[in-house]
Amino acid sequence: MVPNITLNNGVEIPQLGFGTYLISPNDTVEAVTTALKTGYRHIDTAQMYGNEAEVGQAIAESGLSRAEVFITTKLNNGYHKRDDALYATDVSLQRLGVDQVDLYLIHWPLPMIGVDYVETWKAMIDVLNDGKARAIGVSNFLPKHLDRIIDATGVVPAANQVQSHPYSPNNVTRQADKKYGIATEAWAPIARGEILSDPTIVEIAKRIGRTPAQVVLRWHIQRGDIVIPKSIHPVRIAENFDIFDFNLSNADMNVISNLDTGVPADPNPDTFDYIPAN
């Protein structure tokens, strides 16, 4: 059974979610349907992914009640002005076919684009107060970005979704999250597959009778982070879910943590300024 993490506003989020980044709309309904049948109850999407409608369709057709599925989506980079953010929120709700999402995130801080992300965060607070999200947070925010929005508004994000995997665990940001009581969510948790052939991971997997992906995902879970692997392959979707009947030893946890290369995640959230076509 997937454990829940209680966010700083009391909302509970399943610690393991199903990510839909780079899953095409044509594949999304089938992939999310498979994930829900497997047992996932936390689905992560974003306006930028272009598959919110398909995520909503899969959830609506699953036979599960709305309360059984935790839905996260993210504000697209082209909608950081207050009125634009409020408009984009309503569009997301319409596409998803819901009145409220469980977690709504600013996708990137975008400090280079000329719109202050504090303004964007204030819009997110309006979304929360209007009842269109049960919790609000951020994605790819560095500690200094967190400091600014919290100092300006007094409202602490419930979650910060950042790139994190053993090669680049993003520990500085994780520590800032911890200081504020912000839950850390890990995207690209298996380093886009790169880490699955790492000799250390392969050795541990063979020794304990698990796959490399399960070992890495279990490492995330035992660190206390929320993790959102993604796949369109039913076997891998099931494999990624099957990580709650074993534990990594402290020694193995430390060995995996020592794979940190010291190279920061890419792209750099402080200079990233990509705005996709809306």
- Catalytic site positions: 49
Burial 83-112 (b: 16+ CB within 10 A, else e): ebbbebbeebbebbebeebbbbbbbbbbbe
- Can you tell me the distance from the alpha carbon of 55 to that of 165, in angstroms, rounded to the nearest whole number? 25
How many angstroms separate the CA atoms of 173 and 147, rounded? 11
To 10 degrees, the CA torsion angle through 169, 272, 179, 254?
Answer: 0
Nearest-CA neighbor of 138 among 257, 46, 42, 25?
46
Quote the distance between the C-alpha of residue 181 and its chain's center. Answer: 16
- DSSP assignment letter at 167: T
Please identify which residue in the block is written with the tokens 């508004």: 153
Give the three-state DSSP class for 55: helix
C-alpha 201/C-alpha 216 separation (Å) is: 7
Rounded Cα distance, 113 and 174, in Å: 25
CB 269 within 8 A of CB 108: yes
Q: Which two tokens stand for residue 152?
A: 């300006």
